[in-house]
Chain A
Amino acid sequence: MTSATQTSTSPRCDDRVVLDQWHPLGSIEQFEVGVVYTTTLLGEHVEVTMSGDGRPLVRRTRDATAQALPTRLQYLNLWTSFGDPPDELFEVAEFYEPDRRSVHTGTIGVSTSAPRAVENFLDMGHFPFVHTNILGVEPHTEVAEYHVRIDPDINDVWATDCMFWQPMAAVTATGGQMTDYIYRVPHPYCVLLYKSCPADPDRMDVIALFCQPVAADRIRACMVMCLVDNDNTTTVIRRFQQTIFGQDKPILENQHPKRLPLDPRAETPIRADKVAIAYRRWLSDLGITYGVIPGTG
């Protein structure tokens, strides 16, 4: 075969752990009834159709007789799986609190791997440099000591007691504040952030990043917020989150290799990267090979 006849589609995923996960395909409300949408998951083309009674049909495009794939509608997204997914998706209790606003803030394509995007989401140290004057500002650059643990029951990575000085932590913020963060990784390609809520000091806003792995080095980032905020319009909330993510995107796309190296010696971790170190080790322990460069050890 000559190079001229090679196709450009990425190789299919053979990572059993990843195949058996639920993966998001974007906001439920973007799918109009009766329209056939196409998207790519793990290197394979899939078709999405929403029926009149609100039930989704997802199947591989390559075969008209292909069987319907499992689906679920949760956290404002449509999810599917190529393998044998768990009965339930990870639980985020805040989404069921009636006085909260759940807002899908957009699905954005990024030329990077899902683990790189998750790791960026877990990172506070970049706030003053990438989200200048919003989520951080010099000279408030210090990442204070925080705690990391793996929940033995649900096997989630948690980072707690995270604190960072933020000039404008949210749409509802009126000035600079020390913001408390809790990070949670419940899925190899999904990450949640609980942060102090400017509108109610006793509660926490939830911001989620669910990555649709289009290929090993390409994602669609599905972003959802679950807020205590009765003042701002959905448009204002979306604009805030898209501004933030618009600042992350060029950084992620200039990071290489695009797949996350799991060998601890591949890059230069510091104390502030404690949760990233734990996340990489957790991916290794799960046996993830898709979207990463597996360690040699």
Chain B
Amino acid sequence: MTIDPFTLWHPVACEFDLPYRHVYQGQLLGRELAIWRADDDFVNVWANRCLHHGVRLSIGTSDGTELRCGYHGWRYANRSAGCTYIPAHPADAPARTICNRIFPVVLRYGLIWTGEEPSGDGPMIDCLTNAAPFVLRNLPVDASAELVLKHLRNHRFAPSLRINALVADEGNDAEVTVDEVGGSAATPGELAADSAAGTSTLKSREPRPQRQTKPATDPSRFSPTNRTGPRPFAIEHCADRRISHEQLVAQQ
């Protein structure tokens, strides 16, 4: 089944990538993004270009309510991305049409999710919804998403009882249960089923509250095939023009 990646929700940053008044540079499907959290906690995901002369807004500065471009000081408002002030003409109000491109945002599972034209209320990953996932730092990989996914499918998390000891030593308020999963490599769907069944769980007693999220009432709106568990984001269809190792071998 062909899934258009432009209609899906994708993670573009971790919540901890957005410290106080920082402007984070993200990228999705070939487009650069400027991602920043205003002082009212709203997370903005914008095209990373000042409308004036195309300078990256991620080298601009946030004053908590507006993002200011580093080149000519044009200011863009939290939420609307409308231009509020052009210093070269301080007496004139900027035209209403000067408004940067904004993208929908959902904060869920400790990640910032967005998309070009995503459908539904946000990603629904059942095993994460009822757990308290913690987010590792994101890891750029110089390979096609297809290749990464292929290898991840063959990778199994192999924890040991040592983890329990580490958690206890640090006095963390977490509980880790490790059971043997066994068997050979599973598909992502099987992995999800394993996780959901609690064969490998990591719980925190007080889950971090998620901001700016509304529980989706109908998960099937997001999931076209109505599968349970995590969906790979149709990665083989993403606009990544890098050639995979297999394709390279095939061409030689």
Given A4-B248, A143-B88, A128 contacting B54 (CB threshold 8 A) = no
Contact of A255 among B53, B91, B98 (CB under 8 A): B53
- Asked if B87 and A128 sit within 8 Å, CB to CB, the answer is yes
Contact of B90 among A142, A257, A267 (CB under 8 A): A142
Q: How far is the CA of A256 from the CA of B91 in the complex (A)?
A: 29
- Asked if A267 and B54 sit within 8 Å, CB to CB, the answer is yes
Let me know if A126 is at the binding interface, CB within 8 A: yes
Binary flags per residue of B167-209, CB closer than 8 Å to A gives 1, else 0: 0000000000000000000000000000000000000000000
Let me know if A268 is at the binding interface, CB within 8 A: yes
Give chain A's interface secondary structure class.
loop
- Asked if A255 and B88 sit within 8 Å, CB to CB, the answer is no
Let me know if A141 is at the binding interface, CB within 8 A: yes
- Asked if A3 and B70 sit within 8 Å, CB to CB, the answer is no
Let me know if B59 is at the binding interface, CB within 8 A: yes
- Asked if B49 and A256 sit within 8 Å, CB to CB, the answer is yes
Contacts of B52 in A (CB 8 A): 267-268, 270
Let me know if B217 is at the binding interface, CB within 8 A: no
Binary flags per residue of A124-139, CB closer than 8 Å to B gives 1, else 0: 0110111000000011
Contacts of B49 in A (CB 8 A): 256
Let me know if A9 is at the binding interface, CB within 8 A: no
- Asked if B53 and A141 sit within 8 Å, CB to CB, the answer is no
Let me know if B235 is at the binding interface, CB within 8 A: no
Given A2-B251, A129-B70, A271 contacting B89 (CB threshold 8 A) = yes
Shortest CB distance B144–A (Å): 12
Shortest CB distance A146–B (Å): 12
- Asked if A254 and B51 sit within 8 Å, CB to CB, the answer is no
Contacts of A268 in B (CB 8 A): 51-52, 98
Let me know if B133 is at the binding interface, CB within 8 A: no
Q: How far is the CA of A119 from the CA of B72 in the complex (A)?
A: 13
Contacts of B54 in A (CB 8 A): 255-257, 267
Q: How far is the CA of A126 from the CA of B50 in the complex (A)?
A: 13
Contact of A256 among B56, B89, B243, B248 (CB under 8 A): B56
Shortest CB distance B48–A (Å): 9
- Asked if B87 and A125 sit within 8 Å, CB to CB, the answer is yes
- Asked if A254 and B56 sit within 8 Å, CB to CB, the answer is yes
Given A141-B88, A143-B89, A254 contacting B72 (CB threshold 8 A) = no
Let me know if A272 is at the binding interface, CB within 8 A: yes
Contacts of A123 in B (CB 8 A): 72
Contacts of B73 in A (CB 8 A): 128-129, 138, 141
- Asked if B98 and A138 sit within 8 Å, CB to CB, the answer is no
- Asked if B53 and A267 sit within 8 Å, CB to CB, the answer is yes
Q: How far is the CA of A251 from the CA of B59 in the complex (A)?
A: 9
Q: How far is the CA of A128 from the CA of B86 in the complex (A)?
A: 13
Contacts of A54 in B (CB 8 A): none
Let me know if A287 is at the binding interface, CB within 8 A: no
- Asked if B59 and A254 sit within 8 Å, CB to CB, the answer is yes
Let me know if B130 is at the binding interface, CB within 8 A: no
- Asked if B88 and A125 sit within 8 Å, CB to CB, the answer is yes
Contacts of A126 in B (CB 8 A): 71-72
Shortest CB distance A159–B (Å): 14
Given A129-B70, A129-B71, A141 contacting B87 (CB threshold 8 A) = yes
Contacts of B32 in A (CB 8 A): 256
- Asked if A141 and B56 sit within 8 Å, CB to CB, the answer is no
- Asked if A129 and B72 sit within 8 Å, CB to CB, the answer is yes
Which residues in window 65-85 of B have CB below 8 A to A?
69-73
Binary flags per residue of A261-275, CB closer than 8 Å to B gives 1, else 0: 000000110111000
* A-B interface, 9 closest residue pairs, ranked by CB to CB distance from nearest: A141-B87, A272-B88, A125-B88, A143-B88, A254-B56, A268-B51, A129-B73, A125-B72, A2-B251
| Residues of chain B at the chain A interface (Cβ within 8 Å) | 32, 49, 51-56, 59, 69-73, 86-91, 98, 243, 248, 251-252
